[in-house]
Amino acid sequence: METGIPEQTGVSGEEPVWRGLPPGLLRMRRLLLAVWTGVLALVAGLLPGLLAGWTWAALALLPLALGAWGWLLLGRNWRSWRYAERADDLLISRGVLWREETVVPYGRMQLVEVTSGPVERSFGLASVQLHTAAAATDATIPGLDPAEAERLRDRLTELGEARSAGL
């Protein structure tokens, strides 16, 4: 699977194997950004242009500049997301400026669900949501291929049941 983050394998058995998110998530988010930027640029340029004169239509450049900046930030954010399945827990890492790493022990998982809204479905994507007893360790992995999301859900559910049975 083509991802923005190369898989990393360690020398010892303890090093996690990181998996990045598929590029479909980045395409979806950038398309949504382009649509909303276009709408904002149209409103910001058309309304002042009609009401105050066409020189005020240059205000449309502000949303376009912000949209271009957002385009770059979306790419950086997408590359920062990754997850790894270890023997006892699932690691989820994300963030560019503020890195956040969530560790979800398999034995603490209460519910693992796959969700996919209408926009995600149109791009062939799904998200995995993990619910635990402590709300602080709830986690989501967005933008996965639906087959990978279902595989991950089944594996995490199986490991969660095995770990919680041993408590």
- Over residues 49-94, the pLDDT tens digits come to 777 777 777 888 899 999 999 999 999 999 999 999 998 899 999 9
Look at residue 48 in the predicted model and tell me its pLDDT. Answer: 77
Q: What are phi and psi of 64, to 5 degrees?
A: -65, -40
pTM equals 0.79
- Look up residue 54 and give its two tokens: 């066409």
